[in-house]
Amino acid sequence: MTKEEVEKKRAQERQVVHEIIAVYCRHHHNDRGEDGFCAECRDLAAYADLRLERCPRMAEKTFCSACPIHCYKPEMREKIRTVMRYGGPRMLLYHPMMTLRHMFLTWKAEKNGKLGKTGQGRTV
Ligand SMILES: [Zn+2]
């Protein structure tokens, strides 16, 4: 994978994560700002960005949800899992192609046994 491709993937994953958090926020929180996030979800999105920015496995892994390394701290991991569980399926409505691709890659990683037992840590 070239550096360019890695960066493209990073940007793509960031987009997916932001979209899902935005959907969750829209349906759960009222005090949203112009960017579509409330303070809590903005924090979560910023945290996800930071993790993606520092991810050393961007070239090998498919998405964070299909990665055996869980680099999120427990508190944030719990939050992002809740958000993904809610927003993941709904992404199919809004961005079917993006979501299907994501789901396929996650499924493929699981099939290859890269996720460990029973897909622990799986988000979407
Ligand atoms: Zn929110």
pLDDT tens string 55-113: 888 777 666 766 777 788 999 999 998 998 898 888 777 778 777 777 777 777 777 76
Distance 115 CA to ligand 1 centre (A): 29
Q: Are 38 and 29 in contact (CB under 8 A)?
A: yes
Distance 118 CA to ligand 1 centre (A): 29
The string of pLDDT tens digits covering residues 17-29 is: 999 999 999 999 9
What pTM does this model have? 0.75
Distance 95 CA to ligand 1 centre (A): 20
Spatial distance between the Cα atoms of 97 and 89, rounded to a whole number of angstroms: 13
Distance 61 CA to ligand 1 centre (A): 28
Distance 86 CA to ligand 1 centre (A): 13
* Residue (of 93, 94, 87, 104) closest to 45 by Cα position: 87
The string of pLDDT tens digits covering residues 30-55 is: 999 999 999 999 999 999 999 999 88
Q: If phi over 0 gives left and psi between -120 and 50 gives alpha, with beta otherwise, what is residue 25? A: alpha
Distance 78 CA to ligand 1 centre (A): 15
* Residues 6+ positions from 34 with CB-CB distance below 8 Å: none
* Residue (of 39, 37, 40) closest to 20 by Cα position: 37
